[in-house]
Structure 1
Amino acid sequence: GKAKVYAKSSCPSPKTFIEYTEGRIKGPEKNAIDRHIDHCKDCRDALNLMFGMSPGAGQK
């Protein structure tokens, strides 16, 4: 549907995901990425492929 097309067009870049998983993105930008990942299966799948984990899975 339209939501998926919109989500794909606004997906963070791979560089942004790397910074995100390294904890270098903070504040509102991190919150926006968190929300995006919650709603975008493509990005969740990409993160799982890139890092073999879900966001936050490495933080114990």
Structure 2
Amino acid sequence: MKFDKKTRASVSQALVWVAIFSVVLAGVGAVGVDIWLASTQWLLVAAVSILFAIYLKMS
């Protein structure tokens, strides 16, 4: 699927916010309250989200 430049930028920004939110949920999980996923899984979600965000920014 091809996106125009404006759409890629907005999707990339949304993925950055998903990554930030995932890191926050990982921090909450680290203090003992797991929300749907374990802390390490939230960090994996953050890593994948930020990788896709970088990919979209570069393309």
Q: TM-score range by the shorter chain?
A: 0.3 to 0.5
User: Under a length normalisation based on structure 1, what TM-score does the superposition of the two structures give?
Assistant: 0.32
User: Under a length normalisation based on structure 2, what TM-score does the superposition of the two structures give?
Assistant: 0.32
Point out the structure with the larger helix share: 2
Tell me: higher relative CO, structure 1 or 2? Use CA pairs within 8 A at least 6 residues apart: 2
Which of structures 1 and 2 has the bigger CA Rg? 2
